Amino acid sequence: MAKIEGKRIQKDQLEQFVRNVFIEAGLDERQSTLISRHLVLANLRGMDSHGVSRVSIYCKRLDLGLVDKTYNPIIEKESEVSALINANNSSGIPVSTFGIELAIKKAKKSGIGIVAIHNSNHCGMLADYVQRAVEEDCIVLATTNAPANMAPWGGKSPFFGTNPFAYGIPTGEEDNIVLDMATSKVAKGKVVLAQKNNQNIPIGWALSSDGQPTEDPNEALKGVFLPFGEHKGYGITFLVETLSAIVTGSAFGPHIGDLYTNFENKQNVGQFFYCMRADLFQDIDKFKSRMDQMIKEIRTVPVMKGVDKIYLPGEIENITYKDRSENGIPLSKEIIHELQLVGEKYNLSLL
């Protein structure tokens, strides 16, 4: 993609602006703080598609009444190791934060914590929830489903979403392992961001509505996304949909309200969190030591021609986080302009 000139904005400045926007949009202080922290964290990790570029659409859905401004999740069914939460159409980030914290609490007490959420909304970046769990010495798996934009392998019409899948593993001296990935070749948010920035996308990400490979994000958004790993990616997408929707009782596939194009229906997406205490089978110090050993040995594997270094899952995001924390978060001029427009509505200014 062509580089877009913009500015670097300091984390605290950006977080405060986003927090104030959501307060003015009608959310309480706690929800606004959680959402602003989450979105800016996505930018800090280099996941710009899940960062502050989402502020505008989140506010639009709040303004239209498609997302309830009141935070009112209810635990409908619970055991020592599990809970089913009805989000009651609350914003996805606060209710998912509640969900992962409950899963962690149950895992710390019983060894395993499983939390399912239905009647929810877009929950942003799964890495945030995974990171919370690994910091509490839990191994964690997280999923959420999404509006239909990817065909089942061999099909030509959208059925599944980009259906992200994330996991986290605590370590000792090494950085915790956190993987967050779409089960499509690329997250939809990256195509939306390319559209906003007037950029092309790589061939292989998506097909146009007539089934042809396309570099045009506008055509990609009208067509279908492709699964990573072809039939293998489709298989994992199917699992994510099952855990996020069928298990939780949420809408699935084409029955989900689209975040960007459906302004009549609520989303009713689902989230699923599985936490296991890392010392369930081995002493925690021994577990972490063996994780560190494996990581160190992976780094010694000879690299292929043209490869400078072997990265661990999430390592590039950690490097990006350190850089952007110190030097500011780069935002394109288009995203800055979009944020300024949202801010003007509430008499707020980013710059």
**Residue 5 confidence (pLDDT):** 60
**Residue 207 confidence (pLDDT):** 84
**Residue 206 confidence (pLDDT):** 83
- Mean pLDDT computed over 199-221: 87
Alpha carbon distance 194, 97 (integer Å)? 28
- Mean pLDDT computed over 75-96: 98
- Mean pLDDT computed over 132-140: 98
Nearest-10 Cα torsion for 21, 25, 31, 34:
-20
> For residue 65, is pLDDT > 90?
yes
Give the percent of the chain with pLDDT over 70.
99
The rounded mean pLDDT for the chain is 94
> For residue 81, is pLDDT > 90?
yes
E-state strands within 65-205: 74-78, 82-86, 112-120, 138-144, 165-169, 177-181
Contact (Cβ atoms closer than 8 angstroms) between residue 27 and residue 91: yes
- Mean pLDDT computed over 78-89: 98
**Residue 32 confidence (pLDDT):** 98
- Mean pLDDT computed over 109-123: 98
Alpha carbon distance 135, 176 (integer Å)? 8
- Mean pLDDT computed over 233-239: 95
Alpha carbon distance 333, 71 (integer Å)? 33
- Mean pLDDT computed over 64-73: 97
Q: Which of 55-64, 123-132, 155-164, 281-290 has the lowest mean pLDDT?
A: 155-164
> For residue 193, is pLDDT > 90?
no
Give the percent of the chain with pLDDT over 90.
82
- Mean pLDDT computed over 142-170: 92
pLDDT digits (tens, 9 = 90+) for 327-344: 999 999 999 999 999 999
**Residue 156 confidence (pLDDT):** 78
**Residue 2 confidence (pLDDT):** 44
Reduced to 3 states (helix: H, G, I; strand: E, B; else coil), residue 158 is coil
Q: How does residue 192 score in pLDDT terms, banded at 50, 70 and 90?
A: confident
